[in-house]
């Protein structure tokens, strides 16, 4: 991981899907985790009318914020057929404010049932934050 860099990669997992995500701060980590989740699902956005949403979440810790944020995005995929490719976040240890812009989903290739807390830990590193997220499929 390069200082200031952010990214994600799929990890091998026996029954479910997993991502490793890294970023310089919590807001960037949440954005990259969302991109990774959409990537695992094979989400393709439709053209046309863009939609904006504002989310405000509170959590006991970084892990709770991460799971709650991804679960909310997953809910919007399932209930409204929406995904977001522009994410502006402000995050602290206990609060998250997000301005999301996206579009209806044209297609996706895989379904995720849930975001899990399985072995979830957001770790501080010398270069930022690192986490591994397991998704129930």
Question: What's the confidence (pLDDT) of residue 91?
Answer: 93
Domains, the chain, ordered by start: 7-136 (3.55.10.10)
- The DSSP result for 48-115, as a single string, is S--EEEEEEEE-SSHHHHHHHHHHHHHHHHHHH-EEEEEEEEEE-SSEEEEEEEEEEEEE-S----EE
How many residues would you count in the chain?
Answer: 137
Question: What's the confidence (pLDDT) of residue 67?
Answer: 98
Per-residue pLDDT tens digits for 42-83: 999 998 899 999 999 999 999 999 999 999 999 999 999 999
Integer Cα distance of 19 and 87 in angstroms: 19
């Amino acid at each position: 991981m390069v200082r200031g860099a952010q990214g994600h990669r799929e990890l091998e997992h026996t029954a479910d899907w997993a991502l490793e995500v890294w970023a310089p701060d919590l807001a960037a980590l949440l954005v990259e985790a969302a991109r990774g989740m959409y990537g695992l699902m094979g989400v393709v956005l439709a053209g046309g009318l863009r939609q904006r949403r504002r989310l405000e979440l509170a959590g006991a810790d970084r892990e709770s914020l991460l799971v709650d944020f991804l679960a909310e995005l997953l809910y919007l995929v399932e209930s409204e057929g929406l995904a977001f490719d522009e994410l502006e976040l402000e995050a602290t240890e206990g609060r998250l404010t997000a301005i999301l812009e996206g579009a209806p989903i044209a297609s996706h290739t895989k379904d995720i049932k849930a975001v899990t807390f399985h072995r979830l830990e957001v770790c501080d590193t010398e270069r930022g934050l690192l986490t591994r997220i397991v998704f129930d499929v």
